[in-house]
Homo-oligomer: A and B are copies of this chain.
Amino acid sequence: MSVRKLCLTILSFGDATGYEIRKESTSGRFSYFDEASFGSIYPTLAKLENEGLVTVREESQSGKPTRKVYSITKAGRAALVTELCAPQQPDSYRSPFLLIALCAEHLDQATLRAAIERRRLHLQEELSVLQGHNEETQHPGARWTRNYGIACMEFSLGYLASHGEELIAMAGRPAGANPIDDGSGRLSKTTEQTPPVATEAAE
């Protein structure tokens, strides 16, 4: 049911085509709320039109296939408000990066380093997007979410910067069922590049 909210929300910030809605929900201003593909967006827009919550106008330019530009109606705005007032679903964070981190002991340093770097780049890219959208932040809610996003990402970047090496140092060090390797204490320098890591499937 949330593709509805997504479409209505994006349209409440301005007219858009299905293509634009998809783009903004995956990698644009609206990429923190929900994601959807064409297969769900187009049917949803059709349904919304059918319910009178949005209208369409066809803009046929020279040559180009006719753009179908959707606009939200007053009834659409009211419906959006109603849906937003219902108790929200919990936020979800799904992290392929943390999965790698979780398994650090079974991987090698290069893999961990690459994973951190990829995560860092992704965060910085998203940060740039957010920081770039400061012109159109006249909407108070948009400004608040933008600041929240920036704060969270800067925090994450800082954490990666200050704790990344710790993670990398865990490469190839299975903890095993042995008495907590905490006992070994300084697991840092001495064994740095010693063990043939090699990700042996330890069992």
A33-51 to B contact mask, C-beta < 8 Å, 1/0: 1110000000000000000
A118 touching B88, Cβ below 8 Å: yes
Q: Collect the chain B residues with CB atoms within 8 Å of residue A139's CB.
A: 102, 105, 175-176
B34 touching A94, Cβ below 8 Å: yes
A128-141 to B contact mask, C-beta < 8 Å, 1/0: 00000000101111
Interchain CA distance A149-B104 in the complex, whole Å: 16
Q: A77-B182, A99-B84, A140-B173 are in contact. Are A33 and B200 (CB under 8 A)?
A: no
Q: How many copies does the complex hold?
A: 2
Interchain CA distance A147-B74 in the complex, whole Å: 47
Q: Pick from A16-24, A61-69, A163-171 the stretch touching chain B.
A: A163-171
- In the assembled complex, how far is the CB of residue A88 from the closest CB belonging to chain B, in whole angstroms? 4
A151 at the interface (CB under 8 A from B): yes
A33 touching B138, Cβ below 8 Å: no
Minimum CB distance partner of A119 in chain B: B91
Q: Collect the chain B residues with CB atoms within 8 Å of residue A202's CB.
A: 77, 138
Q: A94-B91, A96-B89, A163-B144 are in contact. Are A138 and B181 (CB under 8 A)?
A: yes
A182 touching B144, Cβ below 8 Å: no
A5 at the interface (CB under 8 A from B): yes
A95 touching B84, Cβ below 8 Å: no
Q: Which residues of A contact B (CB under 8 A)?
A: 2, 5-6, 9, 12, 14, 32-35, 74-75, 77-78, 80-81, 84-85, 87-107, 111, 114-115, 118-119, 122, 136, 138-142, 144-145, 147-149, 151-152, 155-156, 159, 163, 166-167, 170, 173, 175-176, 180-182, 184-185, 187, 197, 199-203
Other than A33-B99, A152-B156, give 17 A-B pairs with Cβ distance below 8 A: A12-B106, A33-B98, A33-B102, A34-B96, A74-B182, A81-B106, A81-B201, A87-B114, A88-B96, A88-B119, A90-B118, A92-B94, A101-B141, A103-B141, A138-B200, A140-B187, A148-B159
